[in-house]
Amino acid sequence: ANVIMEGSPLAIRAIKQMANDGLETTLRTAYSTTFPLYRQFTQSHDFIEGPRAFSEKRKPIWKGV
Protein backbone atom coordinates (compact mmCIF):
# COMPACT_ATOMS: atom_id res chain seq x y z
CA ALA A 1 0.00 0.00 0.00
CA ASN A 2 2.84 2.39 0.78
CA VAL A 3 4.37 1.84 -2.66
CA ILE A 4 1.05 2.65 -4.32
CA MET A 5 0.66 5.79 -2.23
CA GLU A 6 4.04 7.04 -3.49
CA GLY A 7 2.64 7.09 -7.03
CA SER A 8 1.08 9.97 -8.87
CA PRO A 9 -2.24 10.99 -7.28
CA LEU A 10 -3.65 11.54 -10.77
CA ALA A 11 -2.72 8.01 -11.84
CA ILE A 12 -4.08 6.45 -8.66
CA ARG A 13 -7.35 8.34 -9.08
CA ALA A 14 -7.65 7.22 -12.71
CA ILE A 15 -6.91 3.58 -11.86
CA LYS A 16 -9.52 3.57 -9.09
CA GLN A 17 -12.08 5.15 -11.42
CA MET A 18 -11.37 2.63 -14.19
CA ALA A 19 -11.54 -0.31 -11.78
CA ASN A 20 -14.86 0.85 -10.34
CA ASP A 21 -16.31 1.55 -13.78
CA GLY A 22 -15.15 -1.83 -15.04
CA LEU A 23 -17.04 -3.68 -12.34
CA GLU A 24 -20.40 -2.20 -13.24
CA THR A 25 -20.47 -2.09 -17.03
CA THR A 26 -19.82 -3.88 -20.30
CA LEU A 27 -16.38 -4.06 -21.88
CA ARG A 28 -17.39 -1.67 -24.66
CA THR A 29 -18.70 0.94 -22.23
CA ALA A 30 -15.70 0.54 -19.92
CA TYR A 31 -13.33 1.13 -22.84
CA SER A 32 -15.19 4.26 -23.91
CA THR A 33 -14.84 5.73 -20.41
CA THR A 34 -11.29 4.46 -19.83
CA PHE A 35 -9.72 5.92 -22.96
CA PRO A 36 -10.53 9.57 -22.08
CA LEU A 37 -9.04 9.05 -18.59
CA TYR A 38 -5.92 7.53 -20.14
CA ARG A 39 -5.60 10.35 -22.66
CA GLN A 40 -5.99 12.95 -19.89
CA PHE A 41 -3.30 11.26 -17.82
CA THR A 42 -0.80 10.97 -20.70
CA GLN A 43 -1.09 14.72 -21.25
CA SER A 44 -0.43 15.58 -17.61
CA HIS A 45 2.60 16.96 -15.78
CA ASP A 46 2.76 13.82 -13.64
CA PHE A 47 3.06 11.60 -16.72
CA ILE A 48 6.28 13.41 -17.65
CA GLU A 49 7.52 13.85 -14.09
CA GLY A 50 7.61 10.13 -13.23
CA PRO A 51 10.10 9.00 -15.90
CA ARG A 52 12.08 12.24 -15.58
CA ALA A 53 12.52 11.76 -11.83
CA PHE A 54 13.50 8.14 -12.39
CA SER A 55 16.15 9.07 -14.96
CA GLU A 56 17.48 11.77 -12.64
CA LYS A 57 17.51 9.29 -9.72
CA ARG A 58 15.29 11.41 -7.50
CA LYS A 59 11.81 11.16 -6.02
CA PRO A 60 9.09 12.60 -8.25
CA ILE A 61 7.32 15.80 -7.33
CA TRP A 62 3.67 15.02 -8.07
CA LYS A 63 1.33 17.91 -8.81
CA GLY A 64 -1.82 15.90 -9.47
CA VAL A 65 -2.32 17.69 -12.79
Rounded mean pLDDT of 21-32?
78
pLDDT of residue 55: 96
Instruction: Tell me the CATH number of domain 2-55, given options 1.10.260, 1.10.3470, 1.10.12, 2.30.29.
Output: 1.10.12
Domain ranges (residues) in the chain = 2-55
- Write down the mean pLDDT value for the chain: 83
Distance CA 54, CA 20 (A): 29
Angle between helices 9-23 and 45-55 in degrees, nearest 10:
120
> Around Cβ 22, how many Cβ atoms within 10 Å?
15
End-to-end CA distance of the chain: 22
